[in-house]
Amino acid sequence: MIEIAITPKETDLGDGFIVRRSLPFAKKKMVGPFIFFDHLGPAKVNIDHGLKVRAHPHIGMSTLTYLFEGEIMHRDTLGNEQLIRPREVNWMTAGKGIAHSERSQVSGTDQVLEGLQIWIALPREIEDIEPNFVHINSSRIPVIQSGKNKFNLVAGKAFGKSSPVPVYSQLFCMEGKMEAEEIFAMDLAEDIEGAVYIVNGKLNCDHKIYESGSLICFKKGTSINFMALSGSQVIILGGEIFPEKRFIWWNFVSSSAAKIEIAKMRWENDQFGKVINEDECIPLPRDVSRPVEESVCYP
């Protein structure tokens, strides 16, 4: 049932803040519509050291921020300024273009920041919709009971329940903790693929043992099926497979390489608008040796 198991690479977002990046991967660019998957931390943050992602642009996808611990301040060009707390869902749809910043929020003492940053590609026919933003409090997130396991339905539909997050394609994203020897099973429709990411713990998938940091991708139309070998925290995600290829260059996602070239020029010419209460921005990368036709994802 397993297509591939991905070991993430470490990426520095700046100021020494290290994340583990599973998608995009050389041999597996996407899982359904999920095209980018970063595990932030766990890392100690304080006033001088933390997550400091200056204003930067996006097109053609939605961003999902979901924290396990700590707080992040989100600001964008629509005028939103939103503090993100654990188990809340921050969902920003870039569409034809938006810019935002993300900064860890701390008081005077060291704190821990850990969570996920995920990008979900939009269907080709709605890639250029107007940008929008939704924040969902943790109390509104449905809980799925599966045996002794409980999972938060972060986005999409699964097991007869629906998240209030306004998604644009058929998908699911769940987060939960499992006791040792508990089993998870979920059948996938013919055009659906899925994966499980091990935040911490150890799983047995198809008679192989995988540990923290692994993203195990299952073949489309089969099933997501595994057993926890210890107390484990997992993310289960997947969705419909788009018929067209997706290009990813820096923070831009599109079914059209030409649209990414236009987005590059727009950012250089300051045409994405101003992020509220943000004076710094990240300049366009100057790696001219990597064309849009190749998948390139910068920190």
Please check the confidence at residue 92 and state whether its pLDDT lies above 50. Answer: yes
For residue range 125-179, what is the model confidence (pLDDT) as tens digits? 999 999 999 999 999 999 999 888 999 999 999 999 999 999 999 999 999 999 9
- Is the confidence at residue 299, as pLDDT, over 60? no
pLDDT band at 15 (very low <50, low <70, confident <90, very high): low
pLDDT above 90 covers what percent of the chain?
A: 85
Burial 213-227 (b: 16+ CB within 10 A, else e): bbbbbbebebebbbb
Q: Could you report the per-residue pLDDT of 48-73, keeping only the tens digit for each? A: 788 889 999 999 999 999 999 999 99
231-257 tens-digit pLDDT: 999 999 999 999 999 999 999 999 999
